[in-house]
Structure 1
């Protein structure tokens, strides 16, 4: 036999609300209310693609976009290659910073204002990192050779030539 205290643990305050009872007349739809219709999709609106492994069937299934192919994961050699190129880009950034510190030592002889020189220094040091991040993000769904081609183009374009021309600690 249960006590009223046990019954309190199994109920919520407001359980006796008559509007919650599905059999009551209060929950019945009003005759003056408009019938509810499911939201209809505009025919010109693009359909969302289905998840992989699902097929659209029924009325309007020809408008459903097929699932987009998932990108293949990179192999071990590709990951190591991308890591080596990323390390090269980090070294390029360090090289551009060293060159810019040397340039600031002779900044009085340059026809460029100091704030502009600092801005150009930061841009030159950030360029390899921005190139790598941009290529990596934009070629996410491309083939591996396309990603490597763009990374190699960045390696060629962003080499710190002034650093290499003067030597590391000349």
Structure 2
């Protein structure tokens, strides 16, 4: 990654420097997909291999962005996935990509707040973390919400920080 792109990316990653929409929307989001998309997909696959997901599983993809991991999990394990996304435009993009990929009905997205989720207690078999967790300032509050929406004995996992060689 070039120095100019890296500097812009790091500035935008700072939660005080801009919104999540700036990070994942527009040209910077496309650059991220080009540079890190394959690694992210590989990380998703490696992490998912350690799960016991199946057709009956209900998964929350928390801060799922455009939904690549959500679709991968649904495709590989047949489970139902709900992606919670902070930015309306990203929800629209995730829905569009999911429909194109043929997963509408199995994977759905909604706008929401990771610190105050609208889901009932204990409804998810797995809460899948996304790289966007690193932008959440109040991680303790987010983790409390994650535990609240998980079924007893459910797992939460996040590939954040696991980029291969980066």
Name whichever structure is richer in helix by fraction. Answer: 1
Give the number of the structure with larger relative contact order, counting CA–CA contacts within 8 Å between residues 6 or more apart: 2
Larger Rg: 1
Name whichever structure is richer in strand by fraction. Answer: 2
